[in-house]
Structure 1
């Protein structure tokens, strides 16, 4: 007995984290079918772009791609393209380029953060070493630029501006807030640069390269950036999860590596301040840096997981989500706007 094919929109809704009722009706099913066909083209294209003659490069470049991922950035590019001419060859290439940029950034981030795992598998630098992991990320950035170069100055500007923000976000995260910086605002800007900029490029790219009305570009840029910040704030909550099978990472990976997260920053702020817990975390981070077992932070991180600072982080993420949805007001009512709204609304489910 063979199973029936999934209804148009079921697979797409699953990727975005909501039920497929958004894609009911003739128009909704048509949009869903166009998006899913486009995503199949993106997936096949990525597999081709990640083939290299050199066996080491070939294995390393495909490593995180084959480890999985929901391809949220291509989904958003192809989804917003339905506001214009739909899934054109240009839209497919832009979606591939932005996903390659995202993949390349993961190789670099894991080296800089000293992450042990990514997507449930050992981080690339744990397999091939730091140098190969960094150079693999560089190769993926190069492939992304090659794709973008097919579409002229506008595409290259989108890529260059986004890449600059990715690097600036990582740089600022590395050097930390400086005297006179508000630590919370500084951190939010890091998230906007490191995560929001690439999601914003995805939502913008679908509009620009499907030749959708230009008045949709800025609202979707704002939407993408705010969704990206909300997404990362929720990752800060998930980073404290005690279930590594769900997160694909060791609990508290960022904090153990000395990378601040919003819950830890809020331990020094206002109503969520807890100087004693903040001091225990700082002491544990320093001891890990001196070679202690990372487990020295287990108790403090378990306490932080249930702390009001983590709840405040979740509430802040919901505020950014609401602002992202509000930015969609200029878009026409219909399947695309509703799907973007549902995607933002369901972000919070990642932390529950």
Structure 2
């Protein structure tokens, strides 16, 4: 999502944020450059493959609720984006992915060991950039990293530990536990993106808190929409291979709702989604059944409800073009699931 695609941004705000995104991209390339040409190329492999720059965009927009972006806001945005990129290198190793952003994944291109080490290097670079912003920013970065890793660990263990998770009387608890995991795994870093923007954009403490809460809620919406896309999308439309989560046996929100069904007609679907699906024909069958199941409607409704919570938080802020753009950003994220 680019600055030009935010319906709530007027021409002046769009121009400022677009300039900010260009500066973020330039600064990112600057800080990941390396004397070793291979290391420099590997560092930039995914960054140059594209991506939404969603987190830097949020940092810049949050700063516009205050005094607007400057070089400190740019560095904060770079630190967040580097942390995100580093996590993608590790995710692709864990998922044994072949593609990322339409190009070869880092592990497919360089091998698992190098991909992990490049991810580690990018985490270190992010910390170095954030260190220039002061002790409080470093503490926030460290806390965010802990939450991000803990959320990923909990997500992996939850899906692997119990293939019937979400069924029977434990259904509601499983859904709430999953949303808690998403708040850590995805929401924490997006919350920090908004928090940094507000902090270094000169916002008061109340506004910083509000935008931090908004960012975390928006992050959960972002991941829930991705979960829905993994089922609903076609490969050529989304740039992703549909059914990745089903293939890995992940208990995403649509899966949890489907496992919670007591309709005997759902027995075949529940059998298929009880664990990883390796057979391509069974994966296609599971996708067809899940796409037609009320679980998808339930998951979309929960996603839109979370989006409403994010928008409601913005009601605490004085109206402005930046706040209106942040409200539109929620709609843009949630609408991906429709």
| Alignment partners' CA distance in 2, 1:259 and 1:122 | 23
Cα pair 2:2 2:52 within 8 Å, conserved = no
Does residue 307 (structure 1) correspond to residue 296 (structure 2)? The answer is: no
Does residue 268 (structure 1) correspond to residue 250 (structure 2)? The answer is: no
Give the drift of 1:41. Answer: 0.7
Cα pair 2:2 2:53 within 8 Å, conserved = no
Corresponding residue of 1:251:
242
Which stretch has the larger CA shift, 48-57 or 230-239? 48-57
| Alignment partners' CA distance in 2, 1:272 and 1:136 | 48
Q: Gaps (5+ residues) in structure 1? A: 1-9
Does residue 347 (structure 1) correspond to residue 333 (structure 2)? The answer is: yes
Corresponding residue of 1:157:
139
Specify the SS of the correspondent of 2:133. helix
Correspondence 1:75-114 to 2 at 5 A: 75-114=57-96
Q: Gaps (5+ residues) in structure 2? A: 163-169
Give the drift of 1:260. Answer: 2.0
Aligned length: 328
Does residue 197 (structure 1) correspond to residue 183 (structure 2)? The answer is: no
Give the drift of 1:271. Answer: 6.7
Which stretch has the larger CA shift, 196-205 or 120-129? 120-129
| Alignment partners' CA distance in 1, 2:248 and 2:112 | 16
| Alignment partners' CA distance in 2, 1:111 and 1:302 | 28
Specify the SS of the correspondent of 1:200. helix
Q: Give me the CA root mean square deviation.
A: 2.1
Cα pair 1:100 1:141 within 8 Å, conserved = yes
| Alignment partners' CA distance in 1, 2:9 and 2:15 | 9
Cα pair 2:79 2:126 within 8 Å, conserved = yes
| Alignment partners' CA distance in 1, 2:78 and 2:125 | 10
Give the drift of 1:167. Answer: 0.3
Candidates 22, 40, 54, aligned match of 1:58: 40
| Alignment partners' CA distance in 2, 1:80 and 1:272 | 46
Structure 2 vs 1, CA of residues 122 and 257 (structure 1 numbering), >3 Å: closer, same or farther? farther
Give the drift of 1:242. Answer: 4.6
- After superposing on structure 2, the runs of 4+ consecutive aligned residues of structure 1 that deviate more than 6 Å are 177-181
Offset from partner CA, 1:147-191 (integer Å, 9 cap, x none) = 010121111011001101100011101111779892211111111
Does residue 35 (structure 1) correspond to residue 7 (structure 2)? The answer is: no
Structure 2 vs 1, CA of residues 163 and 349 (structure 1 numbering), >3 Å: closer, same or farther? same
Does residue 188 (structure 1) correspond to residue 170 (structure 2)? The answer is: no
Correspondence 1:327-338 to 2 at 5 A: 327-338=313-324
Specify the SS of the correspondent of 1:84. coil
| Alignment partners' CA distance in 2, 1:342 and 1:45 | 27
Specify the SS of the correspondent of 1:282. coil
| Alignment partners' CA distance in 2, 1:145 and 1:294 | 41
Give the drift of 1:31. Answer: 2.8
Give the drift of 1:214. Answer: 1.4
Cα pair 1:116 1:249 within 8 Å, conserved = no
| Alignment partners' CA distance in 2, 1:331 and 1:272 | 45
Structure 2 vs 1, CA of residues 119 and 79 (structure 1 numbering), >3 Å: closer, same or farther? same
Which stretch has the larger CA shift, 274-283 or 137-146? 274-283
| Alignment partners' CA distance in 2, 1:231 and 1:313 | 13
Give the drift of 1:259. Answer: 2.1
| Alignment partners' CA distance in 2, 1:338 and 1:85 | 16
Give the structure-1-normalised TM-score: 0.87
Structure 2 vs 1, CA of residues 240 and 264 (structure 1 numbering), >3 Å: closer, same or farther? same
Does residue 221 (structure 1) correspond to residue 212 (structure 2)? The answer is: yes
Which stretch has the larger CA shift, 240-249 or 43-52? 240-249
Give the drift of 1:145. Answer: 0.2
Corresponding residue of 2:167:
none
| Alignment partners' CA distance in 2, 1:247 and 1:305 | 16
| Alignment partners' CA distance in 2, 1:104 and 1:211 | 28
Cα pair 1:83 1:336 within 8 Å, conserved = yes
Which stretch has the larger CA shift, 203-212 or 174-183? 174-183
Which stretch has the larger CA shift, 254-263 or 140-149? 254-263
Offset from partner CA, 1:59-108 (integer Å, 9 cap, x none) = 22111111111111111111111122311211010000000000001111
